[in-house]
Amino acid sequence: MALLLGREFVWWSSLASYSLATACLALLLAWFIKRQQKVWLIEKLPGPRSLPILGNALDVNVAPRELFQKVLEFREFGKAVRIWLGVNPYVLVSEARSAEVLLSSQKHLDKSRDYSFLHPWLGTGLLTSTGRKWHSRRKMLTPAFHFKILEDFVEVFNSQSHKMLTKLKGKADGRPFDVFPFITLCTLDIICETAMGININAQDNSDSEYVNAVYGIGALVQYRQTRPWIQPDLLFRLFGYAKQHDEYLRILHSFSYSAIDNRRKEYQLAKLKDKEEDEDVIGKKRRLAFLDLLLNYSETQTSLSNEDIREEVDTFMFEGHDTTAAALNWSLYLLGCHPEIQAKVHEELDSLFGDSDRPVTMADLREMKYTENCIKEALRLFPSVPFLARELREEAVINNYRIPVGTTVMVVTYRLHRDPEQFPDPETFDPDRFLPENVAKRHPYSYVPFSAGPRNCIGQKFALMEEKIVLSSIMRHFRVENTTRREDLRILGELILRPENGNMVKLWPRSAKV
């Protein structure tokens, strides 16, 4: 009897093992077939030759400046080009109709896996979240960028611009210097004050721990995005990058949580006071920072933890700092290359301000039409964000090619903005391209410096207001000449598009009113 039971047990064990092995082989075969279908579809697109497993990873394992140029060179294969980073397929698009398929869709809303390397810093805030969380956060945060709220930030834009001007005055002697750090620190002060209600005085203390952490973590994220062999967390740690990365995170998150705790205490104290005092502390008589609005939402609309609030504040810091600094620097660079256009900006600003040193008002901003067009044209030639990427959750048809689920589709904004069908003589700096009658002639997705469609930049009005005030402040007081010719320009296409060697300019005062 025991022998019979033993044989039966062995038989059932063998059957179970066989069934399990068969099931595993079936799953593996199904995965392989699905994978091959994906490869078959992707390989229909034109693109550079790739290696097994590595794909085109070695092609892009180059210095930052060479990397940007390499991506731009892929355009020679067509308007929709495939490359492989390891085993992950990417499709690069650079014309308006293809960009529209991706950006206008209510289905293709998920950011690419490249954004996951920002998760340790930003969590799943508005920039990186997907699905229901993204929809709820977008709906909740949209009122924070209402015109009336943005109007309150004009005072911050003016005061920080004035501080920058006092520093630039010492450089306005006609000798070349790099203006990029001056503008960057100004925008960092602006974003800290408007996002958290804190003045970190970056313009007076450029070596601060927080400032260095912001720059450091951005560089690490960019480095990791282009190197598949350090993308897994385990390998990122084994290669020794995680230690510095974690130290940056400690600094950044400690700063944000401290700001939230302090602001929350102020908020609670204010609620205990009478109405008049309450208004004086957190209401209409006091300018609200983005953080104040989040705290108010948490109290009155939807419960937000400190981590939820930290995600959104850090996201606002990230998206609203370097992007704006880059846009301002490129605007100043191009005006310094084109004295005839700079003269028109001076003429417009002189007609508004004369010789006065008064701050910019909302009424002034509405009249700065030519200055605004110069900024828009600078963003066409040098978009702050040179690439926009989404990961497909549903199959898409782009340029008559079927693009399978799981593919990262990347809009190469820098190339998109240079499509000669939409922008004749595309390398020419011509602010008149943005006159209303010229804008109406173009495809609506031919110009997307703030992305477009459902996931467009929620802070684009904020950014444009800031850029107009900071740039006009500089141009009211100085004449600028650039020392680097366009043909000699070296560009870094990292998370943000920036000149490799800074923005070397010469400044001369236009009057003694600085």
CB atoms within 10 A of CB 232: 10
Handedness of CA 380, 447, 419, 218 (dihedral sign): positive
* β-bridge mates for residue 89, sequence order: 84
Check if the beta carbon of residue 366 is closer than 8 Å to that of residue 465.
no
* β-bridge mates for residue 508, sequence order: 479
Check if the beta carbon of residue 54 is closer than 8 Å to that of residue 87.
no
Q: Which two tokens stand for residue 189?
A: 């002060």
Residue 24 assigned ligand-binding role:
no
Check if the beta carbon of residue 252 is closer than 8 Å to that of residue 260.
no
Cα distance between residue 108 and residue 348, in whole Å: 42
Write phi, then psi, for 442 (nearest 5 degrees). Answer: -95, 160
Q: Which two tokens stand for residue 202?
A: 């970056």
In this structure, are strands 396-398 and 88-93 parallel, antiparallel, or unpaired? unpaired
Write phi, then psi, for 88 (nearest 5 degrees). Answer: -100, 125
Cα distance between residue 393 and residue 405, in whole Å: 5
Check if the beta carbon of residue 508 is closer than 8 Å to that of residue 172.
yes
Please list, in sequence order, all residues whose beta carbon lies within 8 angstroms of the beta carbon of residue 158, skipping any fewer than 6 positions away: 359, 360, 469, 473
Q: Which residues of 42-78 are buried (b: 16+ CB within 10 A; e: fewer)?
A: beebebbebeeebbbbebbeeebeebbebbbebbeeb
Cα distance between residue 514 and residue 298, in whole Å: 43
* β-bridge mates for residue 55, sequence order: 51, 85
CB atoms within 10 A of CB 252: 23
What percent of the chain is helix, strand and coil (3-state, nearest 5)? 60, 10, 30
Cα distance between residue 115 and residue 92, in whole Å: 17
Q: Is 106 helix (H, G, I), strand (E, B) or coil?
A: coil
What single-letter DSSP state applies at residue 80?
E
Q: What length does the chain have? A: 514
Count how many Cα atoms sit within 13 Å of the Cα of residue 248 in the half-sphere of its side chain. 20
280: exposed, middle or buried (C-beta count within 10 Å: 0-12, 13-18, 19+)?
Answer: middle
Q: Which residues are annotated as a binding site?
A: 457
Q: Which residues are annotated as a binding site for heme?
A: 457
